[in-house]
């Protein structure tokens, strides 16, 4: 398939952008003025400006002659670059490959135009959308980046170059259309070579000797004889599906149907590759230019569209279609190799390998949030806070079994809490302690068990732990930090026994 590129130029986004308004106009009702053809031109107006005789394309001096109270403000630095990046991201609804140019945007539209009825309708649709938003645009479609760029700046208007015809399209254009430095352009004009057709067929050695290697590179790139890098503003996911809507979608049912179609295609591709979905992101491109998104995640890789659809169904109510969504994209942000276990004749205890369990946890996470579900694994460390770690998913295994030879408590507090303790002499267990305002008289106690800190990891005092039982038969895990009667000595409660 022949590569096709669309270059869109915004003539009034070149330099020296300013903002003008009347004092009584609202902040949101502004008129933008940019440098065009060597003078300040009004490029985007509003109803309040139009009512007073100011319109697009009017010189700024004429606008100030009509409305004497106009105030002019310098534009913020970097605003043009942010605006172009925003326009390039807006154009993703027409092609997944979009990039910025110094004064425009560039789209790789290979294989996209048929969705709009051909290149002519495609170009007309994008241009009209931008013009209706107040932008002045010039655009061109060609096989190469260089030719589309040249025709959008120096062509007659909206031009479409037939495949393999870029050579003839470039001939009548000036040398500057090749994106060469200004000094090279001046040399060519001084020699009377004011059109590309006058020097393009000259011997390469002559052009290289007089004008440098860069001119030959730019000619080769424009002709398609030399490759040119295209760097999109967003990375294209390996597994991504797009669904363009014939009419803007606004209802929850229509959104549900769109997601079902995208999931069916995406899961089919994943099955062929032996992969399962772990995280998917759905994006909707609205006709007002805004992009909305929602995401789902799974505990185990899945290629079941029915299960994945149940997860997306929980998020549909939060999707705001606005005036309508014209394009949906569904991308697999994270995938994993999916191993299909052999089916058993007699069903037994599947444990964490149970697919229904994983799907249940996915649905619960979709309702209450992924951060509300935790799974912990043992870790080989005697310090209580480091003896366990949080697992990333159901399949993670630390390789260590839960083992409790030292009779640790079932429930540990996230952080030890300070308590008041009465203890008779050093190394004796406490006689009573007060925790959260409740007094506990200790009837039985065992300890101390001293735990030293890992000096290579952290600094601090050692701990002397005691297992105690109060008058009601409840058992607690207490410790004293530091030596008895030391200035930094303090008592804490750290856990509860069943």
3 state SS of 326 = strand
Nearest-Å Rg of the Cα atoms of the chain is 35
DSSP-assigned letters across all residues of 375-398: -EEE-S-SSGGGSEEE-SSTT---
Task: Say if residue 311 is exposed, middle or buried (CB neighbours under 10 Å; 0-12, 13-18, 19+).
Answer: buried
Task: Say if residue 437 is exposed, middle or buried (CB neighbours under 10 Å; 0-12, 13-18, 19+).
Answer: exposed
List C-alpha distances in Å: 19 to 9, 45, 121, 448: 21, 11, 34, 75
Span 34-73, pLDDT tens digits: 554 456 667 656 666 777 787 777 787 888 788 777 766 6
Pairing of strands 138-142, 159-160: parallel
User: Which of 342, 343, 358 lies closest to 276 in space, CA to CA?
Assistant: 358
CA distance 494 to 390: 19
Domain boundaries, the chain: 18-74, 81-223, 248-337, 411-496
Residue stretches of the chain with pLDDT short of 70: 1, 12-41, 43-48, 71-76, 340-354, 403-405, 485-488
CA distance 251 to 321: 8
CATH topology for 248-337 is Dna Ligase; domain 1 (3.30.1490)
Residues ≥6 apart with Cβ < 8 Å to 406: 449
Span 180-198, pLDDT tens digits: 998 898 989 888 899 998 9
pLDDT for 12: 65
List C-alpha distances in Å: 444 to 384, 406, 439, 464, 471: 23, 18, 15, 17, 9
The DSSP H or E segment spanning 419 is strand 411-422
Evaluate whether 42 touches 56 at the Cβ level (below 8 Å). yes
Would the CA dihedral through 488, 489, 490, 493 be positive or negative?
A: positive
Neighbours of 496 (CB within 10 A): 14
pLDDT for 2: 82
Q: Specify whether domain 18-74 bears CATH 3.40.50.
A: no
pLDDT for 172: 92
Kindly report the pTM of this predicted structure.
0.60
List C-alpha distances in Å: 465 to 193, 363, 386, 433, 476: 92, 41, 16, 14, 10
Q: Which residues pair with 285 in a beta bridge?
A: 291, 327
Q: Which residues of 379-416 are buried (b: 16+ CB within 10 A; e: fewer)?
A: eeeeebeebeeebebbeeeeeeeeeeeeebbeebeeeb
3 state SS of 299 = strand
Neighbours of 435 (CB within 10 A): 17
- Cis bond before residue 469 (omega within 30° of 0): no
């Amino acid at each position: 398939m022949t590569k096709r590129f669309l270059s869109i130029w915004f003539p009034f986004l070149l330099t020296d952008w300013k903002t003008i308004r009347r004092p009584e106009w609202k902040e949101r009702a502004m008129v933008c003025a940019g440098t065009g053809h060597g003078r300040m031109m009004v490029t985007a107006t509003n109803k309040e400006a139009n009512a007073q005789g100011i319109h697009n394309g009017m010189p700024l001096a004429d606008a100030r002659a009509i409305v004497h109270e106009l105030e002019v403000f310098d534009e913020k630095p970097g605003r043009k670059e942010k605006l172009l990046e925003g326009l390039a991201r807006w154009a993703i609804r027409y092609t997944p490959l979009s990039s910025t140019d110094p004064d425009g945007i560039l789209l790789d539209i290979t294989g996209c135009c048929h969705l709009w009825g051909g290149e002519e309708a495609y170009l007309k649709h994008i241009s009209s959308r931008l013009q209706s938003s107040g932008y002045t645009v010039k655009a061109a479609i060609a096989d190469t980046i260089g030719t589309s760029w040249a025709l959008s700046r120096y062509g007659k208007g909206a031009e479409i170059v037939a495949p393999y015809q870029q050579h003839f399209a470039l001939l009548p254009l000036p040398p500057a259309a090749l994106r060469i430095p200004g000094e090279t352009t001046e040399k060519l004009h001084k020699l009377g070579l004011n059109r590309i057709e006058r020097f393009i067929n000259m011997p390469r050695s002559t052009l290289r000797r007089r004008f440098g290697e860069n001119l030959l590179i730019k000619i080769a790139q424009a002709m398609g004889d030399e490759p040119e890098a295209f760097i999109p503003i967003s990375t294209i996911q390996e597994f991504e599906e797009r669904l363009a809507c014939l009419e803007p979608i606004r209802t929850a049912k229509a959104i549900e149907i769109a997601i079902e179609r995208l999931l069916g295609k995406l899961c089919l591709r994943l099955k062929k590759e032996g992969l399962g979905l772990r995280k998917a992101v759905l994006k909707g491109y609205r006709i007002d230019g805004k992009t909305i998104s929602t995401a789902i995640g799974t505990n185990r890789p899945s290629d079941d569209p029915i299960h994945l659809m149940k997860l997306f169904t929980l998020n549909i109510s939060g999707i705001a279609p606005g005036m309508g969504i014209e394009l949906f994209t569904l991308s697999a942000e994270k995938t994993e190799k999916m191993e299909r276990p052999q089916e058993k004749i007699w069903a037994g205890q599947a444990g964490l390998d149970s697919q229904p369990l994983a799907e249940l946890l996915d649905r619960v996470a979709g309702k209450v949030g992924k951060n509300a579900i935790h799974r912990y694994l043992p870790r080989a460390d005697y310090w209580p806070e480091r003896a366990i770690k949080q697992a990333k998913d159901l399949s993670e295994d630390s390789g260590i079994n839960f083992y409790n030879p030292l009779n640790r408590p079932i429930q540990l507090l996230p952080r030890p809490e300070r308590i008041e303790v009465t203890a008779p002499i050093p190394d004796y267990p406490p006689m009573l302690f007060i925790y959260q305002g409740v007094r506990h008289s200790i009837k039985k106690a065992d300890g101390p068990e001293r735990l030293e800190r890992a000096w290579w990891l952290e600094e601090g005092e050692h701990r002397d732990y005691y297992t105690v039982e109060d008058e009601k038969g409840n058992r607690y895990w207490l410790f004293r930090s530091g030596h008895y009667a030391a200035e930094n000595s303090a008592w804490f409660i750290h856990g509860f026994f069943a």
